[in-house]
Amino acid sequence: MKKLVVFILFLPLYSFVFAQPAKSYNKPSDFDSTISRGINQIYNIDFAGAEITFKGLIANYPVKPQGRFFLAMIDWWKILMDPDKESYDDIFFQKLEDVIYQCDGILDKDPDNVDALFFKGGSIGFRGRLRAFRDSWIKAADDGRLALPIVEHAYKIDPKNIDVLLGFGIYDYYAAVIPDQFPLVRPLMIFFPPGDKKKGIEELTNVALHGKYAKYESRYFLMTLNFSYDDNPFKAEEWAKMLTNDFPNNPIFERWRGRIAAKSGDYFDANEIFKDVLYKADKSFYGYNNYNAKREAAYYIGYQFRLSNKLDSAKILFEMCVKYSQQIDKSETSGFQINSYLYLGMIADELGSRNEAVAYYKKLLDLKEYGNSHSLAEGYLKTPYHR
């Protein structure tokens, strides 16, 4: 519930991710094109290229905060690539503080400076997002308290900015959906404005189709909300394909497309996508060669092998999934690991290795319940699994 509350608190701050003042829309410039190029480099996971781009922007426009802000966003995406590692946290916080310091200097002279408001608010918002990510709830909530008035002030000054609708669209959607999904949160929503799911979808779609800098972020949210809340994997796939077509080597987008294919029942497509993930992991593509990416890929490829009755191959992949899960699952056993043990037991039964199957089923009973894993294990201990 704490995570949900903090998430709701920070929803409007997503409007800062790649938003720009409306005045830039009518007068494209080298400054705008440089920012667009750098943003695309971030999404393409070309962090070295993005760093060159934004350092050049800082050198050419030292009084503007955009270069420093987007330089920090490179570290944010490095964190997203492997969220279990905290090695980028300190440098990310420091870069955000540099942006806030610069923006404060601008606002001391010009309190209505839209650039300074946007990127000060954005920096505070991202600082809070990482603090919430690391379970530092009080500091995260305090960042939300500091940033929200800046959001409101900036929007009043610049209400024509399409990209700003991203934050409002996310808020309208989730403020309407989350209380129904999580009733414990409902009493807390009296402290927040009411949501409007339909309006939120319209706002997000507007940004996804017509936004300048925030369209990719909006497509990302439309993809995830259709997958997680609206249970519409086919609509989610439309947005996923847009993202992976534009950024084919972005591991976050590609993995989402794979799990969406699996949820829609297209295990062949999911298998092909996750084979590509494992291939890129083997070739050390940035963001692919980590346990999270390889575990997910091994699981879905193993699942497809099992469906097609290639049991020896499925066994190898599920064993890989268990191995990677044991490296990742520190405080709690994941569904990946539990399901893999279940499938390994079933495969062992199918291959006639009853003692091995029994060992897997007993292992399942030592782990937490996931779905109906315990009842299945108990049943297969009594009667061997067969198709």
pLDDT tens across 326-337, in order?
Answer: 999 988 899 999
Predicted TM-score (pTM) of this structure: 0.86
Residues of the chain where predicted confidence (pLDDT) is lower than 50: 1-3, 5-6, 8-10, 12-16, 21-28
Asked if residue 11 belongs to a domain, the reply is: no
User: Cβ neighbours of residue 188 under 8 Å, at least 6 residues apart?
Assistant: 5
Predicted local confidence at residue 23, as pLDDT: 47
Asked if residue 30 belongs to a domain, the reply is: yes
Asked if residue 64 belongs to a domain, the reply is: yes
Q: How far apart are the first and last CA of the chain?
A: 40
| Final residue in a domain of this structure, among 158, 185, 209 | 158
Cα(269)–Cα(29) distance, integer angstroms: 41
Instruction: Name the residue with tokens 């108990």.
Output: 378
Please classify residue 256 by burial: count the beta carbons closer than 10 Å to its beta carbon, then call 0-12 exposed, 13-18 middle and 19+ buried. Answer: buried
Asked if residue 211 belongs to a domain, the reply is: no
Predicted local confidence at residue 259, as pLDDT: 95
| Final residue in a domain of this structure, among 126, 158, 190 | 158
Cα(317)–Cα(153) distance, integer angstroms: 53
Which conformational region is residue 135 in: left (phi greater than 0), alpha (psi within -120 to 50 degrees), or beta?
A: left
Q: What is the DSSP letter of 365?
A: H
Asked if residue 326 belongs to a domain, the reply is: yes
Cα(310)–Cα(341) distance, integer angstroms: 17
Asked if residue 282 belongs to a domain, the reply is: no
CB-CB neighbours of 129 under 10 Å? 20
Asked if residue 206 belongs to a domain, the reply is: no
Predicted local confidence at residue 185, as pLDDT: 66
Asked if residue 221 belongs to a domain, the reply is: no
Number of domains composing the chain: 2
Predicted local confidence at residue 191, as pLDDT: 65
Predicted local confidence at residue 211, as pLDDT: 86
What's the CATH number where 329 sits? Answer: 1.25.40.10
| Final residue in a domain of this structure, among 106, 139, 158 | 158
pLDDT digits (tens, 9 = 90+) for 30-41: 888 999 899 999
Instruction: List the domain range (segments joined by +) for residue 299.
Output: 290-382
